[in-house]
Each structure stands twice: as C-alpha cells, then as structure tokens.
Structure 1
Amino acid sequence: MSDSTAADSSVRLEREGGIAFITLDRPASRNSLDLAMGLALRDAVRALQAEPPRAVVLRSSGAHFMVGGDVRRFDALLQDSQQECAEEIGCLIDAVHEAVAGLTRLPCPVIGLVAGSAAGFGMSLAIACDILVAADDARFVFAYSAIGTTPDGGASWHLSRRVGLQRALAIALLNPQIDAAQAKDIGLVAEVVPVAQLQDSGLAMARRLADGPAAAQAGIKRLLRSGLNSDFAGALDAEKASFLAMSATADFGEGVRAFCERRPARWQGR
C-alpha cells in the first residue's frame, strides 16, 4: 500500500490495487475539521479525479469519524476579527465543497465507514458517500443549528433525499442523536456492523465492487444521481443512451456469455 500524501497530513490517501483509501487523520481532536484538513481532503479528491480507482473507501483513524468543524478555531477567529473569521470559513467551505462534489462525480463507488460520532460536517461528508456502512457504536448529529448556523457540505441536498423532507427537517432543526440502528431504519445508512468488523466489512465491499463491471457501475451511479433532478421522460432517455453505450463494452459481452454459460463473469473493466 503506497501513501501519496505527506506523513503528517490530516488526510491520508493510499491505494491498494484498484481501491483507494481516504483516511481522516486527526484522532487527537476527534477528526475535527480545520482549514488544513479541508484543503488536504480537497487535494486527496483531486488526486482521485486525476487517476480514478475502481472503488473508494472513506474512513477515519481513532474512535470517531468526525465531530464537525473546529469550533474552538472559530471562537479564536471571532476574538480577532469578524472579517478574518468569514474569510477563513469561506476558504474552508470552498475546499470541502470541492471535495464533496468531486466524490459524487467520481465514476467509481464511494463507500463511507462511520464509527463513533459523525456530527456537523462529519455527517454531511458521510451522507455524501454512495454507500454508507456504520459501526454499531456510530451516532449521527446534524449539529449546525446548535451553534447558530446552517449546513454545508451538501447536507441540505443529500439529507432530504435519504430520509424525506419532514424527517430531514426534524433532524436539522432538533438535532437528535441518531444511533446506528435508527440510522439504518430511516435510510441514513445501508448497513450496520459490529465496530470490530467495520474495516474488514468495508474492505470486502470495496473489493467486490473493484472486481465488478466498472463501466456499468459508473453508469448506474451517474443515472441514479442525475435521476434525482430529472423528469421521468428525461430519465428514460438517459437510461436508453446508457444501455446502448454499455452494449458496446467488452464487459457487456462477457456478462451475456457468462449468463448463458451459467458461470461467473470475468469482468475486464471496459
């Protein structure tokens, strides 16, 4: 496994075969988000866009996924200057918004692994992943209104699409602590596993996806995400165009032959 970022970075990017791992790595601060971490996350996603893997695993070191923004840093900035605070927060939001948008645009699946607390931007980042797996000790808190502000990181777009508008408003306005079982019940996460099995479960899922038909997976991700914003006729047109494009791939021919021959497909990734 090779590390493509500096050893002391708050975000580590590593690759193993066709799988890329983004690790949030400020465990002493429970992975709270500061400007350096936001820029490191942006740079990691830029690297994946330049050389896309077959699957991405977004995870954290330490006991917590991410407890949100570094509020103590915000407080220190406010003591100095409202303008300086606004400028730094603006730079931070620009960085993390580029990162979140980049993750959603990657052609490969992005798996999020959440243990411990995912609060504020930590929750926003988690629900931006394509598939979210939670440890049984995970807990989600929206948290933005608790410090008198509104969400960032795409949460205003993703949350209602995962859980529905009324439930999203209740989560955002009342800030309940949502445990892993509740998160699965309401559709916030896809799967819950024991905390000791979280990394192995995520790796097994990533390997399964990395070994799959890459073009078809990219097409599925694109269709489902774009379908949230299209009318039905537009979705049908997009499905036809995508199916015709897939029919020209080597993997489609292999998949058809494997089905007819009653054997596992040997995907070539093209």
Structure 2
Amino acid sequence: MPDLQPAGVRLEREGAIARIVLDRPAARNALDLPMARGLRDAVAAVAADPAVRAVLIESSGAHFMVGGDVHRFNALLADGPAACRDEIDRIIGAVHEAIAGIAALPCPVIGLAGGSVAGFGFSLAMACDLLVAADDARFVLAYGAIGTTPDGGSTWHLPRLLGLRRALAAALLNKPIDANEALALGLACEVVPPAELATAGRALAERLAAGPAAAQAGIKRLLRAALDSDLPTALAAERESFLEMVVQADFAEGVGAFAARRPARFGQIG
C-alpha cells in the first residue's frame, strides 16, 4: 500500500501499521466533501492491503475534528437549500462508506483524539475499535446546535456504548464529555497528556500488530456481530471461530509459548 495524500487526509504506512491522518488543521479538521472522500478512499486502501495489522486514525493540529464545515454549508445555503442538500448528501455517502469500512476491517482500528471531538468527529471516534484520548479532549455531538440530526453511525454506536438514556442526553443536551468522563464511561480506553498521544497510540498499535491477526479479527467480528444477535447465535459463532483458530499456526505458537513460559512470536512462523 503506497502512501496517499487525498485532500484533507493523509494515508501513511509504517511497517504493519497504517496511519489515517485528518489533515485540515487550519480549519480544525472540519469535514468537507474532499476530506470525506479522502477518508473513504483511505479506509478502502487499507482494506485492500492484507499486510496491515493495525490502523491508527488521528489528526494533525490540536483538534481531532470539529464536525462538518459549517462555513461551507452557510455558503451553499446562499444558493438555496437544494444545493446544500446535494453536497451534504455526497459527504454523508462518502463518510458512511468509511464508517462501514472501519467496522469491516479485520484488524483493530485505534482512534487518537484530542481537543475538539465534535459532530462527525465524535461519530468517527466512536466507530474505532479502541480510543486513546488526550486529557484536553472534549466530546460533543453538537448536531442539534445547528438544527439537524446525527450521522456517521453515532445513533448506532452511542446507545450501545453509553446506554439509551446517556445517549439521549448526549444528543439532546449537547453537554461536552471530557476525557476523564469518557474513560469512566468506557468511550476511551486510555487518557494521556496531549504531548504523549501519538506515542501512546503507536505503542498500542505496535502491540496489536504483533498479536495473532486471525484471532484479533475473530474477536472483532464476534463482538460486533453479538450486538445484534441472540445468545444461541453468538454461542454457535464462538464455537465455529474457536475451531477455525485451533488449526492455524498462531494457535500452536501461542499454546507452545505459554507452555514454555516464553513470549509468543505471532505471525513469524509457518
């Protein structure tokens, strides 16, 4: 996978780790149509590269993303609601492809969020499998503040992550959730100072990239599928997946390493 530079997004490869970088810092990474398409294309490029074993989604500048580019929306409204609706429809179409693609990636996706994490930025952060937050991060949906409803999968993710009542409060009241509260609620798995965000994210990505790829893909698949399945279906899926793992080299390596009391070396055998 070559490094790509679509508008507003950078895609870089560092060994087995792919970095998708939101890159409109002068606009606080506000989402516009080129950036939406860049995000979609970056996720698709990662999906096409089987050598990627972990993904980081992060930002340049002090803010993860302030949401949609409201100044652009305001300019479009000068030409009438139809022009604005048409462009927003294309933006939503692109970012929804990206969100679906993140969920479908077999490898873990880690979000690194600091500063403002608003609107679609919040939705994108919640779509990641794991989230590391800087201690200056502030999460807010903010859609109601401009008279619209959420996108980016937040209405699917947030009730599952927060419960219905907390999700409704987040969406209706637009009260910011700070980094420590996000950690307590389970939205983030770690909180670090802003200067340590990239280092912490890289360390987590390296740990996951060195792990058993097939097993991690199975864990992600099973847990996401279980959100919408009953217990018998989940039990059957777990059995099928476990037996699939038993015949793979990573299982033999993990069992052998445990028995020998040494670190496992996944992906370096067979």
TM exceeding 0.5: yes
Is 2:87 the partner of 1:100?
no
Partner of residue 78, structure 1 = 77
Aligned to 1:19: 17
SS in 1 for 2:211: coil
State the distance in 1 between where 2:156 and 2:189 align: 18
CA-based RMSD = 1.2
The reply on whether 1:254 has 2:250 as its aligned counterpart is: no
| 1:229 paired residue number | 228
Q: Distance in 2 between matches of 1:194 and 1:56?
A: 21
Q: Which amino acid aligns with 1:51?
A: D
Distance 1:63 1:3, change over 3 A: farther
The AA in structure 2 aligned to 1:181 is N
- The equivalent of 2:68 in structure 1 is 69
Report SS of the residue matched to 1:112.
strand
Question: Which segment drifts farther, 181-190 or 243-252?
Answer: 181-190
TM superposition score normalised by structure 1: 0.97
AA aligned to 1:192 is V
Query: Which sits farther off after the overlay, 48-57 or 15-24?
Result: 48-57
The answer to which of 78-87 and 130-139 deviates more is 78-87
Distance of 1:235 and 1:20 partners within structure 2: 30
Q: Which runs of 5+ in 2 are unaligned?
A: none
- Structure 1: gaps spanning 5 or more residues: none
Displacement, 1:81? Answer: 2.0
The answer for the alignment partner of 1:33 in structure 2 is 31
Secondary structure (helix, strand or coil) at the match of 2:110 reads strand
- Report Cα offsets for 1:137-159 as digits up to 9, x if no partner: 10011101111100000000001
Deviates more, 1:31-40 or 1:257-266: 257-266
Equivalences for residues 120-199 of structure 1 within 5 A: 120-199=119-198
Deviations 1:246-268 (CA, angstroms, capped at 9, x unpaired): 01100001111111111111112
- 1:15 maps to a residue whose letter is R
Could you give the per-residue CA deviations for residues 57-108 of structure 1, whole angstroms, max 9, x where no partner exists? 0000000000000011111111102111111111100000000110111000
Number of equivalenced pairs:
268
2:117 — aligned with what? 118
Q: TM-score, normalised by structure 2?
A: 0.97
For 1:261 and 1:187, how far apart are their aligned partners in 2? 35
Conserved in 2, the CA contact under 8 Å of 1:3 and 1:12? no
Q: Which moved more, 1:226-235 or 1:77-86?
A: 77-86
1:244 is paired with a residue whose SS is helix
Q: Is the 8 A contact 1:113 1:133 kept in 2?
A: yes
Give 1:46 deviation, angstroms.
0.8
CA contact (8 A) 1:121 1:153 kept: yes
CA distance in 2, matches of 1:265, 1:186: 32
Specify the SS of the correspondent of 1:113.
Answer: strand
Q: Spell out structure 1 runs of 4+ moving beyond 3 A.
A: none
1:213-265 deviation per Cα after TM superposition (whole angstroms, max 9, x unaligned):
00000000000000101000000000000001001100001111111111111
Quick one: which of 25, 29, 44 aligns to 1:46? 44
Distance in 2 (CA, whole Å) between partners of 1:81 and 1:147 is 17
- SS in structure 2 of the partner of residue 80 of structure 1: coil
Q: Hey, what's the Cα distance between the residues in 1 that align with 2:58 and 2:168?
A: 27
Give the drift of 1:189: 1.1
User: What percentage of aligned pairs have identical amino acids?
Assistant: 64
Is the 1:56–1:109 contact (alpha carbons within 8 Å) kept by the matching residues of 2? yes
Counterpart residue identity of residue 15, structure 2? G
8 Å contact kept, 1:33–1:69: yes
CA contact (8 A) 1:181 1:192 kept: yes
Aligned residue for 2:11, secondary structure, equals strand
